[in-house]
Chains A and B, each alone.
Chain A
Amino acid sequence: MSHEVLQVIWFALWGLLWAIYFGLDGFDLGSGMLAGIFRKDEEQRHLIGALAPIWDGNEVWVITAGGVTFAAFPKLYATMFSSLYVPLFLILFGLMFRAVAIEFYHHMDYDRAWQRIWGWVLSVASLIVALLFGVAFGNIFQGMLLDAQGYHGTILSLLNPYGLLTGVLFVVAFLMNGATWLAHKAPDDGLRAKAHTFAARIWPVVLVVAAGWLVYTPFATNLMGNFLKVPVLFLVPALAVVMLVLTWVYLQKGNHLFSLLAGSLTVGLTVIAGVIGLFPNMFPSKLDPAYSLTAFNSSSSQYTLQFMFIVVLVFLPFVLLYQVWAYKLFGRKGTGSEVEHY
């Protein structure tokens, strides 16, 4: 395969990995945030119990997305991570605290006071991760303050209206998915009803924020260009909208699993739509397009891309296979207290 073809394939894989990550980890980040809302002892225990067996597997997707960025687009990796130094460190601490909170929550089940602390830590850390990832992607969609001297922004310049709106979109969508997961896994009708009500209340909020984001995007970014060139691509954001509607339809039917699936697909498809709009940019410069990092100017050598592609083709099916197995074991309806089987 030619270098260009490989670069396009890797661009697609890069986008796909982020989409899978946000689709999967989105709902457990959402559940994590909900730990601050569902605070009653039993509720919180079931919530974190539902989260405990699956969060780790979900989060490996972000390590993979990072590793793949490093391997396939080292220049992008270097520029992106050093430019976004502060937000990435905050995300890193969020991810770390979240992991520690979930794990220590059940290692410290002898002490309710500690568990309450971990519940709060989980909630706040999940919120930070969701919000800042949204802000980071919003800014990438919008373009960065990048020129020959490097990156010129600060954390404050990242917190612009469009970046923040994308962050809020991530947060509310994840909360919705977290709530449907909790409703699906709730072991009793009381908690299920509560989670269901929460999901039903946040859905219209997601709809409003998503609509605002869709309207704002063409003004704030250059993402529309590719869609106007190849109009059939509009199917992707359209499908995301359909999925958001289906989330509501299944929620009304009380089918929380399908509601969650539709909600996760909404998130995944939204990310894919954004990435399609970016192509071939990966880290566009707002100051001068000449300094934008693209799939073509920041990739690894042809040999590395080719080799890594084979590796992905061989290993990804296995990963999917045993992750599906894990979900089959722990995804069953109404079994939210896995922690007891520790």
Chain B
Amino acid sequence: MTMLSRIQFALTVGFHFVFVPLSIGLILFTAIMETLYVRTGDPKYKTLTKFWGRLFTINFLLGVVTGVAMEFQFGTNWSRYSEFMGDIFGSPLAVEALMAFFLESTMLGIWIFGWNKLSKKMHLLAGWLVAIGTHLSAVWIIVANGFMQNPVGYVLRNNRAELVNFWEVLFNPYAWYTYVHTIFACYSVGAFFVLAVAAYHLLRRRNVDMMKASLRIATVFAIIATLGNAITGHFNGQNVALRQPTKFAAMEGVWEGGQGVGFPLFAIPDSANERNAVEVGVIPGLTSFMAFNSTDAHVPGLKDFPVDERPPVGLTFWSFRVMVGLGVLMLVLAALAWWHNRKGTLMERTTLLKFLLWSIPIPYIATNLGWMVAEVGRQPWTVYGLITTADSVSPVALADVVISLGLVVIFYAILVGLDIYLLVRYAKAGPEAMDERQAAVAD
């Protein structure tokens, strides 16, 4: 039962987290394009704004509907959690709706359909308000999640967690480390999406002028995002070490706690025997140093905690490792693209362009792995140290969950299929085709 609800929730959030990062990354990119258009008056940027904007809108909608699904599931599948936590968890969600959703959705309607109804500057303002709305929306959802990771500003009263200090919840350090890290991740998804589409056109020598303009900005965007991710990732990790020792130990595969814990270059954790089956090239003191800035700092190991309070080690460990590896790969790709574009040799580097084209899934995988580290690493708790996942689930009929899970799977498969189909179609058609199409519709 708990497992089914977990699978359902993981699927819902996982898909949500496929659509949302691209939305956040792309809307910022689109808003920058439109700003360039308003400032330079160059019609090329208007075409690009519409091109990237359409790809954004296709994707944005799916972020919204999968988001509604999440809100519903807190009540339908996790009612005991909702009852225990609603006093605190509901507020950021309600504020998100009031402050961000209305802004995004109203302004998006105005932005899409207002090209001929608004002045250039007002239209640009609507676009930026959509971008601000998506960023604000992420703030509130991560603030809500931050409480689950690191509960603050509450007391236990009346059999539930009650809010006593909203500001403490809002300024929860855990939430803000995660927020900045997540936003950079969203930018890398957006940037690599643009790079891939641009590479596709450049490989075919189509729309070269416009795609080079997009690529130039996207490479800078990608470098800032991936570097930002590495830096914020480090601080995020230190914060985890401080506040969620079990998650940190699982991420790093530390079984025996102690002072001056070393960092293995390669390891394979073995949960059954509570050790790492393989450990190669251990650098003394490095794990301690990464966690607490001191080579002989004390790092608790998994064995310091009861078995039933440890997260699934393998999943957390590997998700973390692969995420970091993909981050490094993205940084290298972005830097190479930037360098060759600057030297003017990018068009000849077809292998690099092909790499960029096929790198589209990389940031998606990396962001979803990051989310796995955060959420799986928190298990068995729903709210760290307060309520377990097993105690959070709704007392609803098993059959209902089975059926709804089946429907979720079928429906999301259709959604993803259509999303990819449309994105590919419009991305391949390119910006000029959109201009022609628009002229055809207007006739």
- Which residues from chain A sit less than 8 Å from chain B, CB to CB? 52-54, 56-57, 59-60, 63-64, 66-75, 77-82, 85-86, 88-89, 92-93, 95-97, 99-100, 103-104, 107-110, 150, 300-301, 303-304, 307-308, 311-312, 315-316, 319, 322-323, 325-326, 329-330, 338-342
Contact = CB atoms under 8 A, between A and B. Distances in A.
17 contacts: A52-B113, A53-B112, A64-B97, A64-B101, A67-B97, A70-B71, A74-B160, A81-B82, A82-B75, A89-B72, A92-B68, A103-B58, A103-B61, A303-B164, A304-B162, A311-B95, A342-B112
B65 A71 contact: no
A67 B94 contact: yes
Interface string B60-95: 011011001101101111011011011111110111
B215 to A, nearest CB: 25
Contacts of A104: 418, 422
Given A60-B105, A77-B82, 14 more contacts: A63-B101, A69-B90, A70-B71, A70-B75, A70-B94, A71-B86, A100-B418, A103-B57, A300-B86, A303-B164, A311-B91, A322-B103, A339-B113, A341-B116
Interface in B390-420: 394-397, 400, 404, 407, 411, 415, 418
A81 B98 contact: no
A67 B99 CA distance: 12
B108 interface: yes
A100 to B, nearest CB: 7
B91 A308 contact: yes
Interface residues of B, number: 72
With most chain B CB atoms within 10 A of its CB, the pick from A80, A103, A110, A340 is: A103
Contact of B97 (A63, A82, A93, A95): A63
A174 to B, nearest CB: 19
Contacts of B112: 52-53, 342
A26 B160 CA distance: 36
B163 interface: yes
A92 B117 CA distance: 33
Given A71-B93, A79-B79, A342 B162 contact: no
A107 B94 contact: no
At the interface, is chain A mostly helix, strand, loop or mixed? helix
B94 A64 contact: yes
Nearest to B75: A81
Contacts of A319: 98, 102, 106
B96 interface: yes
B98 A53 contact: no
Given A89-B404, A301-B163, A56 B108 contact: yes
A326 B129 CA distance: 14
Contact of B72 (A60, A81, A109): A81
A74 B85 contact: yes
A304 to B, nearest CB: 5
Contacts of B89: 70, 74
A97 B415 CA distance: 9
Interface string B416-443: 0010001000100000000001100110
Given A85-B404, A329-B117, A342-B113, A74 B86 contact: yes
B441 A340 contact: yes
Contact of A71 (B91, B101, B400): B91
Interface string B101-128: 1110111111011111110000000000
Contacts of B397: 85
B410 to A, nearest CB: 10
A60 B101 contact: yes
At the interface, is chain B mostly helix, strand, loop or mixed? helix
Contacts of B105: 56-57, 59-60
B422 to A, nearest CB: 6
A56 B64 contact: yes
B415 A307 contact: no
B63 to A, nearest CB: 11
Contacts of B72: 66, 81, 88-89, 92
B166 interface: yes
A330 B106 CA distance: 11
Contacts of B96: 67
Nearest to A70: B90
A312 B246 CA distance: 39
B166 A307 contact: yes
Contacts of B396: 82, 85
A107 B90 contact: no
Contacts of B411: 93, 96-97
B94 to A, nearest CB: 4
Contact of B90 (A77, A86, A326): A77
A127 to B, nearest CB: 18
A108 B429 CA distance: 13
Contact of B93 (A67, A97, A300, A315): A67
A104 B418 CA distance: 9
A109 B440 CA distance: 12
A153 to B, nearest CB: 11
B76 A322 contact: no
Given A60-B97, A96-B69, A340-B442, A108 B422 contact: yes
B83 A75 contact: yes
Pick the 6 closest A-B CB pairs, nearest first. A74-B86, A81-B75, A71-B90, A70-B90, A78-B79, A82-B79
Interface string B135-179: 000000000000000000000011010111010000000000000
Contacts of A150: 395
Nearest to A329: B117
A119 B17 CA distance: 28
A322 B114 CA distance: 14
B93 A81 contact: no
Contact of A53 (B77, B95, B113, B162): B113
Contacts of B76: 81-82, 85, 88-89
A312 B91 CA distance: 11
A323 B89 CA distance: 27
A315 B106 contact: no
B110 A86 contact: no
A151 to B, nearest CB: 9
Contacts of B407: 89, 93
Nearest to B67: A63
Contact of B71 (A52, A67, A82, A342): A67
Contacts of A79: 79, 83
A56 B109 contact: yes
